[in-house]
Amino acid sequence: MSFLDHIRRCNNADLTQFEPWFIGQDRTGFLHRDFAADVVSKSGLFARRDNSWYLDPGLDTSTRRTAAMRAFLLTLRERGYFKGLWREEEYAVAPHTGTPVLMAMERSAVPWFGVRAGGPHMTGYVRRKDGLHIWVPRRSYDKPTFPGQLDNTVAGGQPAGLGLHENLVKECGEEASIPPELAQRAKAVSVVAYWNQSDQQLKPDVMTCFDLELPEEFTPHANDGEVHSFELWPVQRVLETVRDTEEFKYNCNLVLIDFFVRHGLLSADDPDFVPIVQGLRMMYTPASGLG
């Protein structure tokens, strides 16, 4: 296991298995060929031409698109899709960061449509006399996804209608009992992006990385049942655990590797330094896909 292994694990997508789908002229995601043929083609919402799929142009407002998609997704849920992961949480669907939101979609369905998602991932760290330490949570053993694995100090998906920093402050309170006046000190420092495939699902995601230096006397506490426990680890223990194991949730490794780079914990003379830094940002671009 190595840092590059984690990057490759996150970037395992084979885009030859997918076709793009559009709202008007805007590419908004990707559909696995089998899912498109077996499911999407029968929805009445999409038409295929030139090896691409197009949402019905009659759905000419965000509200109409959102309502029609929700009705379709509810029929898929009844057929057993989403495996109990339905959240009743909507993600914004837009062709690119900073462009207008074209519709909203249930969070658990987003990977089935290859829509870019993401959210804030924060590393909470402490400077002590014996060096840098990081607060490491273990996910609840009851969580439906990645139970019991290690995680970033605070992390969450990005629901429609919230700003990233606003969402982070909310997640800090819910996951770690970090009060708003402390959470608001978190600084956006980087992004991590990857293309991850799980069977017919695709995640071309962009995660926004935040750092928060926490007071030595502060201890985070689980608040919403999503975290089993928190432990304060020396940064070298975190680095070695990421580098040598798969104990952290797969995409959380990338956020921590980015932290190691930014805090000077990797040598520029390491032969893997450049591919590591490049591999952390496999960006979703509006024109070409991987970039």
What band does 51 get if pLDDT is binned at 50, 70 and 90? very high
Q: Which residues contact 78 (CB under 8 A, 6 or more apart)?
A: none
**CA dist list (Å): 252 to 15, 22, 44, 121, 284:** 23, 30, 38, 8, 19
Q: Which residues contact 110 (CB under 8 A, 6 or more apart)?
A: 91, 117, 203
3-state DSSP assignment of residue 11: coil
Which residue from 54, 28, 12, 31 is spatially nearest to 284, judged by alpha carbons?
28
| Residue-wise pLDDT tens digits, 120-165 | 999 999 999 999 999 999 999 999 899 999 999 999 999 998 999 9
Contact between 260 and 273 under an 8 Å Cβ cutoff? The reply is: no
DSSP structure string for 201-243: EEEEEEEEEEEEEPPTT------SSSEEEEEEEEHHHHHHHHH
Contact between 151 and 124 under an 8 Å Cβ cutoff? The reply is: no
CA 131, CA 129: separation in Å to the nearest integer? 6
What band does 285 get if pLDDT is binned at 50, 70 and 90? low
Residue 207 clears pLDDT 80, i.e. is over it:
yes
Angle between helices 252-262 and 3-10 (to 10 degrees): 130
CA 18, CA 113: separation in Å to the nearest integer? 10
**pLDDT > 90: percent of the chain:** 91
Mean pLDDT of 251-267: 97
3-state DSSP assignment of residue 6: helix
Indicate the average pLDDT of the chain: 94
Mean pLDDT of 246-266: 98
Residue 109 clears pLDDT 80, i.e. is over it:
yes
The pLDDT value given to residue 45:
97
The pLDDT value given to residue 98:
75
Domains, the chain, in order of start with CATH, read 3-12+117-290 (3.90.79.10), 15-113 (3.30.750.160)
The pLDDT value given to residue 290:
47
Residue 288 clears pLDDT 70, i.e. is over it:
no
Q: Note the pTM of the prediction, 2 decimals.
A: 0.94
Residue found by looking up tokens 């935040």 in the block = 210
What band does 90 get if pLDDT is binned at 50, 70 and 90? very high
* Residue 28 zone, left/alpha/beta (φ > 0; ψ -120 to 50; rest): alpha
In this structure, is the dihedral angle defined by the CA atoms of residues 175, 178, 181 and 186, taken in order, positive or negative? negative
Mean pLDDT of 260-284: 95
What band does 83 get if pLDDT is binned at 50, 70 and 90? confident
CA 177, CA 143: separation in Å to the nearest integer? 19
Residue 32 identity: H
What band does 28 get if pLDDT is binned at 50, 70 and 90? very high
